[in-house]
Each structure stands twice: as structure tokens, then as C-alpha cells.
Amino acid sequence: MSPEATDFLYPFIEGDETDSEALLSDLARSAHAKWEQSTALRTETLERTEDQLRTVATAMAERFTAGGRLYAFGNGGSATDAEAVAQLYTRPPYGSPLPARSLAEDQAVLTALSNDIGFDVVFSRQLIAHGRPVDIAMGLSTSGNSENLLMAFGEAAKQGMLTVGLSGYDGGRMATDSRLEHCIVVRSDSVHRVQESQASVIHVLWAYVQEALSAAGFAAPGGASAPSSAATRV
């Protein structure tokens, strides 16, 4: 039985529906469409931001070469992306392991700052404690409006750190905040699709950092050289 275009006009009376095959076929079709949207957004994002990502990677490589450390932070799903960033830089599949840390990982610090001061300062206060001018602050957001990220960028900029933001929608406040030097925007208004393309941006930016370091002759202890095809497998 093929679904008719007018089926949506006749919703099932609650609890009467019994044929799960029709639903399953709708679900699979919906997932397929979203998959293709995600692929298209990934392509559009990486093509549009190619030059920007190269510029940011070069600046990051300079910081790493000078002994800098990368601090990544975000809220919710973006906090898990910050964890992913820290893991990718410190324990890479190839190339040089680099010093990186997620500021969303330590529950003692997060809860202490939230409880004693407020959630707006959870990242900025950590940067006050850890940050040095040579370091890198990377904030991840989908809205671009998170107050705790903007405060962290303000603190990072004050210290002279390199500031890098990932945002979605039209970039939000992060796109216009002068304290944030580089804002990489995934242009979509779906939080999920934004995060999916941000995952790609994270991987490509990391690969470009490795390329920049490799071109500069940088070698960290424990690094393994990239397989010749590694970059294309990202």
C-alpha cells in the first residue's frame, strides 16, 4: 500500500494504528533525506570556509610551535564536541600529539564555579587560572549566543590568546563580537545539522593544523607520520 499525498490529512485516531511497516518506511525515507541534507551542508560548509580554515590552522600551528595549549569549551552537545577536540589533538590517529584540554570535562570545577558564582563564568574563570598569551581558546556553539562562551572569549582576548569560535545559524553574537578573532559558521538553522557539519570542520581544521606543523618541520614526541592517504580519508 503506497502512501498517498493526502495521508497527513487523516491522522490515526490515537491508539488505533497497528501497521508498523508504513511507519518504518516513512522513518527510513526521512532519515535518508536528512542524511543527504547533512552531506550537502558538509560540502557547502567546507568549500565556503576553506580559506578561513587554512588561515586559522596556520595561526594555531604558530601557537603550538611556540608552546601553546588548546582549550576547547561548549555547552551540551557542544561540550561533547569540545571533548572530541581534546581527544583528537592529544591522541591523534596520525601526526603530532598536541596539548589540548576540554574545559567542560572536570565536574568538580564545573559544579564549584556554577554553585559559587554562576554558570556564565565556568569557562572564563578556568581561562583566568590556566591561560597564557601563547594559548588557543576554541569555543563551540550552535547558536553563537552562549553567555559563558562570550565571557570566555573576552577573557582569552584580554590575555592575548588566539580565539577561535564555531557557530551555527547566522553566527549569532559570536559572529559580531570583536573579541573573537575567527568565527567559523555552519549556515543552517537545525541544531543537529549544524553539529554534524561542525564535526567535519573540527576534523578538517585539525588535519590542516597537522599539515601546517609538518610543513614547518614541527615534531612532537610520540608522533607518527601521516599515511599518504590519511588527509583524504577525513
Which parts of this chain interact with another protein (CB under 8 A)?
Answer: 12, 14-20, 23-32, 34-36, 38-40, 42-43, 46-47, 50, 76-77, 79-81, 83-84, 87, 93, 191-192, 195-196, 199-200, 203-204, 207-208, 231-234
Question: Read out DSSP for 112-166?
Answer: HHHHHT-GGGTTHHHHHHH--TT-EEEEE-SSS--HHHHHHHHHHHHHT-EEEEE
| Residue 124: CB minimum distance to another protein, A | 22
Residue 114, number of CB atoms within 10 A of its CB: 14
- Which amino acid would we find at residue 162? L
| Residue 120: CB minimum distance to another protein, A | 18
When the beta carbons of 49 and 126 are compared against another protein, the nearer one is: 49
| Residue 10: CB minimum distance to another protein, A | 14
Look at residues 151, 153, 140 and name the one whose alpha carbon lies nearest to residue 88: 140
Quick one: cell of 44? 557547502
When the beta carbons of 173 and 193 are compared against another protein, the nearer one is: 193
Residues in contact with 133: Cβ distance below 8 Å, sequence separation at least 6, in sequence order:
159, 160, 161
First to last CA, the chain: 41
When the beta carbons of 28 and 112 are compared against another protein, the nearer one is: 28
| Residue 182: CB minimum distance to another protein, A | 18
When the beta carbons of 163 and 200 are compared against another protein, the nearer one is: 200
| Residue 69: CB minimum distance to another protein, A | 19
If 0-12 CB within 10 Å is exposed, 13-18 middle and 19+ buried, where does residue 158 land? middle
Chain position carrying cell 552531506: 39
When the beta carbons of 75 and 161 are compared against another protein, the nearer one is: 75
When the beta carbons of 27 and 66 are compared against another protein, the nearer one is: 27
Look at residues 233, 205, 81 and name the one whose alpha carbon lies nearest to residue 146: 81
Residues in contact with 126: Cβ distance below 8 Å, sequence separation at least 6, in sequence order:
71, 73, 103, 109, 113
| Residue 213: CB minimum distance to another protein, A | 16
